[in-house]
Amino acid sequence: MQDKPALDDALALMRDLRSRCEWDAAQTHESLRPYLVEEAHEVDDALKAGDDTLLREELGDLLLQVLFHSVVAEERGAFGFHDVVAGFISKMERRHPHLYGNGERVPWEKQKAKKRESIVDGLPLELPSLHRAFRLQDRAAGVGFDWPDVAGPIEKVAEELDEVREELAKQPPRAPGAGPSYDGAHAALEGELGDLLFAVVNVCRKAGVHPSLALDKANAKFTRRFSEVERRAKERGLALGEASLEELDAVWDEVKRGEV
């Protein structure tokens, strides 16, 4: 029976591509950056879809990026793929001292906090805002800046919502359909709404829910329901953009009842 392909086989293939394929040979760390981001998103899409065949394929594409960067670094004399693997194994063992040593179980963020000068150290600048808020709060919790349970964050949401209401009451009326204002007139409101969003992220964190995943599901639910609203409205001769809010809301409620 033929042995299953191993990581060393993939590494050998990557080295061969670098030596014999014109396109692969021309790539650099910098030129590969967009592909790494794209492949990570495609893996995420496959996970959302629950498609194992697609997930297997996309994980292979992501592995290609790891191998590619490792071989480029190897050619520069910086490090090789096996150094990446060794670093991974060492890090995992350090993260689990209770499993790979005689240490006690310590949350990872508390371990990392001892090595950082600031909670922002090493946090990618390009992280999506929702995920960045979650990670900032998680890191702050690692140095003891955290509520003991979810009750504190929930109270904070109520406090921030009151402040949003107060700021809204000060704002001049806006034209229907007007987009975000960037002239500074609504800077205070933007700040209060940002505080509210940040507080909601903290509720998610303390409740054990990742806000990005929660919002993904909410977006999918809204898309599914509103697509059905559009379909039923068309069947009934209701033109979107012309139908009243009351008419569309009635169809929306009907769709929701049908999901129960």
Q: Which pLDDT does position 260 carry in this prediction? A: 65
pLDDT, the chain, mean:
91
pLDDT at residue 1 above 50? no
**DSSP calls for 54-113:** HHHHHHHHHHHHHHHHHHHHHHHTS--HHHHHHHHHHHHHHH-TTTSSS-----HHHHHH
pLDDT confidence of 12, banded at 50, 70, 90? Answer: very high
pLDDT confidence of 123, banded at 50, 70, 90? Answer: confident
Q: Which pLDDT does position 141 carry in this prediction? A: 92
Integer Cα distance of 193 and 181 in angstroms: 14
CB atoms within 10 A of CB 65: 17
Q: What does the angle CA 9 – CA 13 – CA 19 come to, to the nearest 5 degrees?
A: 145
- pLDDT over 90, % of the chain: 73
Q: Which pLDDT does position 56 carry in this prediction? A: 97
pLDDT confidence of 173, banded at 50, 70, 90? Answer: low
pLDDT confidence of 113, banded at 50, 70, 90? Answer: confident
pLDDT at residue 24 above 80? yes
| Continuous H helices in the chain | 7-20, 22-26, 29-49, 52-76, 81-95, 108-113, 129-142, 151-170, 187-207, 211-235, 245-259
Per-residue pLDDT averaged across 158-184, rounded? 79
Each residue of 75-113: b (16+ CB within 10 Å) or e?
eeeeeebeebeeeeeeeeeeeeeeeeeeeeeeeebeebb
Integer Cα distance of 150 and 44 in angstroms: 28
Q: Which pLDDT does position 184 carry in this prediction? A: 63
pLDDT digits (tens, 9 = 90+) for 196-252: 999 999 999 999 999 998 998 999 999 999 999 999 999 999 999 999 999 999 999
- Which tokens belong to 21? 């394929």
Integer Cα distance of 146 and 153 in angstroms: 9
pLDDT confidence of 43, banded at 50, 70, 90? Answer: very high
Q: Which pLDDT does position 180 carry in this prediction? A: 61
pLDDT at residue 67 above 70? yes
pLDDT at residue 183 above 70? no
Residues 6+ positions from 43 with CB-CB distance below 8 Å: 55, 58, 59, 61, 62
Residues 209, 218: contact at Cβ < 8 Å? no
pLDDT at residue 79 above 90? yes
- Which tokens belong to 53? 């065949």
